[in-house]
Chain A
Amino acid sequence: NAGVTQTPKFQVLKTGQSMTLQCAQDMNHNSMYWYRQDPGMGLRLIYYSASEGTTDKGEVPNGYNVSRLNKREFSLRLESAAPSQTSVYFCASSVLGTVYEQYFGPGTRLTVT
């Protein structure tokens, strides 16, 4: 089991460029999440998908779009990157019911210059 995988692990973008962060899970989880982590801020929710075909905004959605391609994959897109989007991005998935635990990917460190 690979768990939650994210690509790429590192990325440097210039202001105004676009890119998509990919996330996939092989645990048959219904719910998937994107968080960003900034120094001294903890992790903050960008978007989540409670099930295939649905997405909802989190605490900091501005400047991002998401796609729940299928049950396994949940991508995060930056249409026009800004220096304020320099951060570490984490994808997570969870199974709901008796065990409300989220499993995290290894993260993507994104720098926007």
Chain B
Amino acid sequence: AQTVTQSQPEMSVQEAETVTLSCTYDTSENNYYLFWYKQPPSRQMILVIRQEAYKQQNATENRFSVNFQKAAKSFSLKISDSQLGDTAMYFCAFMSLEVDSGYALNFGKGTSLLVTP
């Protein structure tokens, strides 16, 4: 089974600053997807960004971008121009594309991000 590790349980950043959340994973597979999900206090799971392993180009979504290092099995999330609404728990997740995986998500333990004024 794949292991997803988020080494920063908690982080804090000031409004308008940039913050980077770390994620590493362990797999022997070559084809997979990686995701970052945001969970605000409302508890709703919201997809922030996805990365296909076969793509070398790093994914970006507005203020959110990733640094995907396939050989190092690293997938960090950069949030630029942080906003108070970015305060949430952030989960890194791995999806195997093997058929017997059911295409389920394998989550890290999360990083709690606090954006301060």
Q: Which residues of A contact B (CB under 8 A)?
A: 31, 33, 35, 40-45, 48, 50, 56, 58-59, 88, 90, 92, 94, 96, 100-102, 104, 106-107
Q: Which DSSP category, helix, strand, loop or mixed, fits chain A's interface?
A: strand
19 sampled A-B residue pairs with Cβ under 8 A = A31-B103, A40-B9, A42-B4, A42-B107, A43-B45, A43-B107, A44-B107, A45-B105, A58-B102, A59-B1, A88-B43, A92-B45, A96-B103, A100-B50, A100-B95, A100-B97, A102-B105, A104-B44, A107-B44
- The answer, among A33, A40, A106, for a CB contact under 8 Å with B104, is A33
- The answer, among B44, B104, B110, for a CB contact under 8 Å with A58, is B104
B residues within 8 A CB of A48? 102, 104
- B105 contacts A43, CB within 8 Å? yes
The tally of CB-CB contacts under 8 A between chains A and B is 53
